């Protein structure tokens, strides 16, 4: 079995060279500031022993036949894509949002698809590099980041037009042993607690931009890699412990300060025609993942809205029932897009199935444009208390606790503790640093809504729609 325990994952992190900076300090990976974000990843290791999750999370390596964690697997059938989506929805329910680890699953699948295509067209051997790396990744049950988004500088300028060429990560040297890369990737989730960074280009490129067409895997503590992190976690609880408050996240600027990458870890170097294909293939997989995880976020918002309305005695008010129905529709439409994307998947030359990107883009778009609307529904029905709830210390102070328990009461039969727990959860979930993070992540993670629109347009057969109308209207002209 190629499975690590969460303790073994942590032990490996402890042994890594310190190259992580967070909130003004250089830290080791076992620094307490990382405890909650790392808990989220530990959950993905523990899930293989969870009776409700293990059938989803455990699978078999097609390379070795060993049992592996599905987060390290390839999608080799439509069934795999269905299970990926279901696994994400169920796992996200447990941690209260993003499980983070699917980033690398989607990147590995995309690299597998595109390296095969480059090799077939160009006679290179990137797919072999990928397969060898995947064997190592699966055998050690590793965690990878997706280091795709470049810092990008002037948004209107292409990589070759930037004043500083390093604003997109690029190759600065090639030799017999490998390549040297320079640049920085931004917003990189899990940066301080991954084993490997999986680097792919962020956009399409031109022939003159071949130095930016680069993809590789590099150990997260390799020489020249610097990880500058922002850590977000729910507020710490004193007494009122709750599962949600155990999990956090870290996003990072990952700097590549002339980093050497050996050839056997390179998956693209100079093949500029495939840069956009790799970026979009990752996006297509990742937006399919979002069709599993975003419905889970909506489920949580829906559950919190329904419960708070019930505790407040207004659960059956028509306007509230209507808003709850709207949340149900958003969750299930996004989920249905993922199912459609899987049902219409295509087998690529690599053997990997790609979801139909039209539908993963549609689902991700629906999720992205609705996220603030969903929080709006929760906020309007919860009332103002999530933003004004007295701190936990005041509920523990014998001078103030009796007043709070007496005056924060709602429908008879709802205990003071349960009411307090629910409001503190809603406050942490929607009116906090973590809530703000989730809202921005809901819009931009996996690509901003405008990017999904571009993806949808690029493969949409608009002419066929005009032709339908020409037929119905009796228009015979070809124009």
Ligand X SMILES: Cc1cc2nc3c(=O)[nH]c(=O)nc-3n(C[C@H](O)[C@H](O)[C@H](O)COP(=O)(O)OP(=O)(O)OC[C@H]3O[C@@H](n4cnc5c(N)ncnc54)[C@H](O)[C@@H]3O)c2cc1C
Q: Which residues bind ligand X (CB under 6 A)?
A: 103, 145-149, 152, 155-156, 185, 187-189, 251, 440-441, 444-448, 450
Which of 125, 126, 70 is closest to 102 using CA atoms?
70
Lookup result for tokens 């949808």: 456
> In the complex, what is the shortest distance from the CB of residue 97 to ligand X, in angstroms, rounded to a whole number?
11
Q: Which is nearer to ligand X, 323 or 374 (CB)?
A: 374
> In the complex, what is the shortest distance from the CB of residue 402 to ligand X, in angstroms, rounded to a whole number?
41
**Which SS3 state, helix, strand or coil, does residue 71 take?**
helix
Q: Which is nearer to ligand X, 138 or 145 (CB)?
A: 145
- DSSP 8-state code for residue 263: G
Which of 118, 137, 138 is closest to 127 using CA atoms?
118
> In the complex, what is the shortest distance from the CB of residue 188 to ligand X, in angstroms, rounded to a whole number?
5
Q: Which is nearer to ligand X, 198 or 320 (CB)?
A: 198
CB 199 within 8 A of CB 169: yes
Lookup result for tokens 């209207």: 473
Q: Which is nearer to ligand X, 85 or 145 (CB)?
A: 145
Q: Which is nearer to ligand X, 219 or 390 (CB)?
A: 219
Q: Which is nearer to ligand X, 59 or 146 (CB)?
A: 146
CA–CA separation, 281 and 43 (whole Å): 27
> In the complex, what is the shortest distance from the CB of residue 163 to ligand X, in angstroms, rounded to a whole number?
16
> In the complex, what is the shortest distance from the CB of residue 103 to ligand X, in angstroms, rounded to a whole number?
5
Q: Helix, strand, coil shares of the chain as percentages rounded to 5? A: 55, 15, 30
> In the complex, what is the shortest distance from the CB of residue 60 to ligand X, in angstroms, rounded to a whole number?
27
Pairing, β 170-174 against β 214-219: unpaired
Q: Which residues are CB-contacts of 463 (< 8 A; sequence separation ≥ 6)?
A: none
> In the complex, what is the shortest distance from the CB of residue 409 to ligand X, in angstroms, rounded to a whole number?
37
Mutual angle of helices 357-382 and 416-430, in 10-degree steps:
130
Q: Which is nearer to ligand X, 59 or 189 (CB)?
A: 189
The CA–CA distances, whole Å, from 107 to 26, 103, 197, 217 equal: 28, 6, 10, 11
CA–CA separation, 295 and 98 (whole Å): 11
């Amino acid at each position: 079995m190629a499975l690590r325990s969460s303790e073994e994952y942590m032990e490996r992190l402890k042994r890594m060279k310190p190259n992580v900076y967070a909130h003004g300090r250089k830290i080791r990976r076992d620094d307490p500031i990382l405890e909650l974000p790392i808990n989220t990843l530990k959950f993905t290791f523990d899930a293989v022993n969870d009776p409700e999750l293990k059938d989803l999370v455990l699978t078999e390596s097609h390379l070795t036949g060993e049992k592996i964690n599905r987060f390290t697997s390839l999608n080799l059938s439509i069934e795999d894509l269905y299970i990926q989506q279901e696994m994400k929805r169920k796992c996200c329910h447990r941690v209260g949002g993003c499980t983070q680890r699917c980033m690398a699953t989607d990147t590995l699948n995309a690299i597998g698809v595109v390296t095969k295509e480059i090799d077939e067209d160009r006679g290179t051997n990137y797919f072999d590099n990928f397969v060898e790396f995947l064997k190592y990744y699966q055998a050690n049950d590793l965690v990878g980041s997706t280091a795709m988004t470049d810092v990008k500088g002037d948004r209107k300028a292409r990589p070759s037009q930037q004043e500083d060429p390093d604003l997109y990560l690029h190759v600065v040297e090639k030799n017999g042993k490998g390549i040297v890369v320079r640049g920085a990737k931004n917003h990189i989730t899990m940066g301080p607690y991954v084993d490997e960074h999986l680097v792919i280009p962020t956009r399409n490129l031109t022939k003159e931009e071949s130095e930016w067409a680069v993809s590789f895997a590099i150990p997260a503590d390799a020489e020249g890699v610097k990880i500058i992190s922002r850590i977000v976690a729910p507020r710490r609880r004193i007494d009122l412990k709750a599962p949600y408050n155990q999990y956090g996240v870290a996003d990072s600027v990952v700097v590549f300060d002339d980093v050497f990458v050996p050839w056997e870890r390179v998956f693209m170097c100079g093949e500029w025609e495939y840069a956009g294909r790799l970026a979009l293939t990752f996006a297509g997989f990742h937006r399919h993942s979002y069709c599993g995880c975003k419905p889970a976020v909506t489920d949580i918002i829906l559950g919190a809205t329904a419960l708070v309305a019930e505790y407040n005695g207004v659960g059956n008010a028509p306007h509230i029932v209507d808003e709850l129905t709207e949340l149900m529709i958003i969750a299930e439409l996004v989920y249905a897009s993922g199912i459609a994307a899987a049902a219409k998947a295509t087998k690529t030359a690599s053997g990997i199935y790609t979801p139909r990107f039209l539908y993963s883009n549609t689902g991700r778009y629906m999720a992205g444009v609705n996220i603030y609307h969903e929080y709006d529904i929760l906020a309007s029905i919860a009332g103002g208390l999530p933003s004004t709830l007295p701190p936990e210390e005041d509920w523990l102070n014998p001078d103030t606790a009796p007043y709070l328990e007496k005056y924060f009461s709602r429908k008879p039969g709802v205990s003071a503790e349960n009411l307090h727990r629910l409001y503190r959860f809603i406050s942490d979930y929607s009116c906090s640093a973590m809530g703000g993070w989730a809202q921005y992540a809901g819009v931009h993670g996996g690509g901003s809504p405008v990017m999904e629109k571009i993806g949808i347009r690029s493969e949409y057969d608009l002419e066929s729609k005009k032709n339908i109308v020409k037929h119905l209207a009796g228009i015979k002209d070809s124009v």
